[in-house]
């Protein structure tokens, strides 16, 4: 049986000694022809395997190189060495896969994140990305657990859709038409009736609208899947393919929506603090070393773990957009013209404004509500003042907006009027309008960008480093 191994994490967590094991993993280092640091991906830490080089074939010893895959059989014993409680005394060793040290790019030294992006197919083997992707798994699991505990239904929204939920227009077209011989209509337009779906289709930009359909029958639902934006932005904060969590809840108003979102964020962070302290500790040290190279004003206000605890230990401050604009315009940063972007009622707040509110003014997470309707989507519930909508954004330290949501417009006439104002085609959206015609009710929801949350909890500054296979302009490797 090939899968007869014991995982290194289980060995290190038990602290027990005096029992036989088989360990399989990859060599991180091999010192003095005697000490092998072996890692199997289950934990941040390596297990030290001790070999008696006098009893091993010299040719076999030469094959124990960084990156080689091994199967090691022996006994777990107490370790006399510093920094470890147990080690593996090797009785038998087999090379499962050789690794040429002259060609292997991941030698035991520090590599820049830029270099690792160039060899993204191998970066999982580093300490940094081992921690990042274990945390990504844990965060995804905690999201499902959070909603399952509260009776939500997990809804799979379509990846291929004919709607543009945000009205942004930056979509990837899906087609089977022969691009060398595109069928045309009499008006010289593309004849989509000849296409696979018989109409223009694209990769989804959001699962929200479909989730609303589910919520208005099942009560509480959430989607968690990939979304796509054909936005030609080659920045550390943009991806062409990213994942979104989008819950939608019937019989919720804006306050209910804010309460759930705050509860969820605290739940997720506490889950990671409880179950992945080792990985977070490593990433905190990595971030600290990285920030030593930055000017003082560009460094994080607090260490990673302290920042995570900070968000869990404080109730989020809730203010209106109008109040936020007043605070910003009275701020020393505004009066000394330190903001790069303008501040006035009606503008869409930038990250620098959001971070000022969180980090300088309130010194805690902030929820903004009551945004101008002119800068928000058609489906948000219009407030009685005729100028604002029942929207909410949650702002976090170091990142700005992490969640955006709203109470949805449940009133048919109001929704239809807003769609006409924004030229959203009502005929094509009949299915969405039907939910307002047949048994409509107050409901609300929000969206959390999974990779943005990952950046926050790991301290990684580039979004390409928190997704296994980043899709960006001119880049679709693997």
pLDDT tens sequence across 455-470: 999 999 999 999 999 9
Are 12 and 47 a contacting pair, CB within 8 Å? yes
The conformation of residue 298, written as its DSSP 8-state character, comes to: G
In this prediction, residue 169 carries a pLDDT of 61
Rounded to 5 degrees, φ, ψ at 219 are 95, -80
Residue 414, SS3?
Answer: helix
Mean pLDDT of 403-417: 97
pTM of the model: 0.94
In this predicted structure, which of 144-148, 246-250, 421-425 has the lowest mean pLDDT? 421-425
pLDDT at 298 (0 to 100): 75
pLDDT surpassing 70 at residue 328: yes
Average pLDDT on 111-115 reads: 93
Mean pLDDT of all residues in 320-349? 96
Token couple for 71: 């199967």
pLDDT at 106: 95
Mean pLDDT score, 258-262: 98
Summary mean pLDDT of the chain: 94
Q: How many residues does the chain have?
A: 478
Q: Say what the pLDDT of residue 170 is.
A: 86
Predicted pLDDT of residue 165: 62
pLDDT for 1 = 62
Residue 252 to residues 24, 158, 447: CA-CA distances in angstroms? Answer: 51, 24, 15
Cα gap 348→328, rounded to integer Å = 13
Nearest-angstrom CA–CA distance, 240 and 453: 17
pLDDT tens sequence across 150-201: 999 999 999 999 886 665 568 999 999 999 999 999 999 999 999 999 999 9
Residue identified by tokens 């964020």 is: 265
The 201-203 sheet, strands edge to edge: 160-161, 201-203, 173-174
Minimal CA–CA distance to 392: which of 401, 400, 247? 401
Strand, coil or helix: 354: helix
Residue intervals of the chain classified under CATH 2.40.50.140 are 8-108
CATH topology assigned to domain 125-170+205-465: BirA Bifunctional Protein; domain 2 (3.30.930)
Token representation of residue 153: 């239904």
Where are the CATH 3.30.930.10 domain residues in the chain? 125-170+205-465
What is the predicted pLDDT for the residue at 167?
57
From 308, 317, 403, select the one nearest 360 (Cα to Cα): 317
- The residue with tokens 């907006």 is 401
pLDDT digit string (tens) for 15-50?
Answer: 799 999 999 999 999 999 999 999 999 999 999 999
Instruction: Quote the pLDDT of residue 168.
Output: 57
Top-tier CATH class for 8-108: mainly beta
Residue 301: phi and psi, rounded to 5, are -70, -25
Is the pLDDT assigned to residue 297 strictly greater than 80?
no
- Cα–Cα distances in Å, from 317 out to 70, 361, 381? 53, 11, 22
């Amino acid at each position: 049986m090939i899968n007869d191994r014991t995982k290194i994490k289980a060995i290190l967590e038990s602290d027990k000694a005096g029992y036989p094991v088989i360990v399989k993993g990859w060599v991180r280092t091999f010192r003095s022809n005697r000490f092998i640091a072996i890692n199997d991906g289950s934990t941040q830490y390596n297990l030290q395997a001790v070999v008696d080089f006098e009893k091993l074939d010299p040719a076999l010893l030469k094959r124990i190189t960084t990156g080689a895959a091994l199967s090691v059989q022996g006994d777990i014993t107490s370790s006399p060495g510093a920094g470890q409680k147990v080690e593996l005394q090797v009785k038998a060793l087999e090379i499962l896969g050789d690794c040429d040290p002259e060609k292997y790019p991941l030698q035991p030294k520090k590599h820049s994140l830029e270099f690792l992006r160039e060899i993204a197919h191998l970066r999982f083997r580093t300490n940094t990305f081992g921690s990042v992707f274990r945390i990504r798994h844990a965060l995804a699991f905690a999201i499902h657990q959070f909603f399952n505990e509260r009776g939500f239904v997990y809804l799979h929204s379509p990846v291929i859709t004919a709607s543009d939920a945000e009205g942004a227009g930056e979509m990837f077209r899906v087609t089977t038409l022969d691009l060398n011989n595109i069928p045309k209509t009499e008006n010289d337009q593309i004849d989509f009736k000849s296409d696979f779906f018989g109409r223009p289709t694209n990769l989804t930009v959001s699962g929200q609208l479909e989730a609303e359909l589910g919520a208005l029958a099942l009560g509480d639902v959430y989607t968690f899947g990939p979304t796509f934006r054909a936005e030609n932005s080659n920045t550390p904060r943009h991806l062409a393919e990213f994942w979104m969590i989008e819950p939608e809840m019937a019989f919720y108003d804006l306050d209910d929506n804010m309460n759930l979102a705050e509860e969820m964020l605290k739940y997720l962070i506490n889950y990671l603090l409880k179950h992945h302290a080792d990985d977070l500790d490593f990433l905190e040290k990595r971030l600290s070393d990285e920030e030593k190279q930055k000017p003082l004003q560009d460094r994080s206000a607090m260490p990673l773990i302290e920042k995570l605890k900070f968000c869990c230990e404080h109730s989020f401050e809730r203010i209106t957009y109008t109040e936020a604009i007043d605070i910003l315009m009275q701020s020393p940063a505004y009066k000394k013209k330190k903001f790069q972007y303008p501040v006035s009622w009606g503008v869409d707040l930038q990250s620098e404004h959001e971070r000022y509110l969180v980090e300088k003014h309130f010194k805690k997470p902030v929820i903004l509500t009551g945004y101008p309707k002119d800068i928000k989507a058609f489906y948000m519930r219009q407030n009685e003042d005729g100028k604002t909508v029942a929207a909410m954004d949650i702002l976090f330290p170091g990142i700005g907006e992490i969640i955006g949501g709203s109470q949805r417009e449940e009133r048919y006439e109001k929704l239809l009027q807003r769609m006409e104002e924004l030229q959203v085609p009502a005929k094509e959206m009949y299915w969405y309008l039907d939910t307002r015609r047949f048994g409509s009710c107050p409901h609300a929801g929000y969206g959390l960008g999974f990779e943005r949350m990952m950046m926050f909890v790991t301290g990684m500054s580039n979004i390409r480093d928190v997704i296994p296979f980043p899709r960006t302009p001119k880049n679709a490797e693997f």
